[in-house]
Amino acid sequence: MRFPVTLVPGVFVERRNRFVADVTVDGVPALTHVPNTGRMRELMVPGHDVLLRPAADPSCRRTVYDLLVVKYQGHWVGIDSLTTQTLAIEAWQAGLLPELSLYTHVKREVKLGVSSLDLLLDGPPGLCYVEVKSVNLVEDGIALFPDAPTERGARHLGELAAAVRDGHQAAAVFIVQRDDATALAPFESADPVFANALRQAAEAGVGVYAITCETTPEGQTTVRQVPVLLEQHATVGQGRRT
């Protein structure tokens, strides 16, 4: 996935709230939209290099940029949670999700229960409902999700499990927007409810997969599937953040 426009380099200053941050571009202060509601405390640090997408029409909004990429310990890390649908589709089309290879068609944004899920795959096996999550945090090589409590995320997992009980297939796909993770685990200490819901969904037959990405100033490429560690590990989420 290539970024549709050339991104503008900047420097992170501070996050005002979940959706707005201050940056500088060529030393000039500017407001930017943060398209991710996660805490991202290890990324949202003053002085970090960032890449920004200019607003198509700055006169129509308060922020003049969207903050898409942060440089952290030598790695570019994507933070735009809206890109993960596209990245999940690209991973599926590239064969990085062989468990879903028999499906032939994909539809975005489908209703299931009271929620709208990201994808619906269709093909000879029937229907497969897919929810996609954006992951930015890595500790000691383990990607962790979520970094803040997500009641909505736990609800999605329950609806995926219900789809399996109704005779369909379902999958949760975690898109790790960086290339330095060797596995993924639920972030137990950040949200034990979600961690438990993920294990229950897997036990119900929901497929749980994680895909890493290479993020550059030009775009993002899905790289490989990595293992998902569903068992509770006391040390996961307590170590050094990378």
Residue 231 maps to a domain: no
| 139-160 per-position pLDDT tens digit | 999 999 999 999 999 999 999 9
Domain that holds residue 208: 81-226
CA nearest neighbour of 176 among 149, 209, 128: 209
Q: Which residue has the tokens 């990324």?
A: 43
Residues 32 and 45 in one domain: yes
**What is the value of pTM for the model shown?**
0.93
Residues 23 and 90 in one domain: no
Q: Which of 23, 54, 78 is the last residue of a domain?
A: 78
What number of residues does the chain have? 242
**Of 64-68, 197-201, 230-234, the least confident:** 230-234
| 35-53 per-position pLDDT tens digit | 999 999 999 999 999 999 9
| CATH number of 190's domain | 3.40.1350.60
Q: How many structural domains is the chain composed of? A: 2
CA separation for the pair 45, 41 (Å, rounded): 7
Residues 111 and 143 in one domain: yes
CA nearest neighbour of 140 among 62, 33, 241: 241
Residues 87 and 176 in one domain: yes
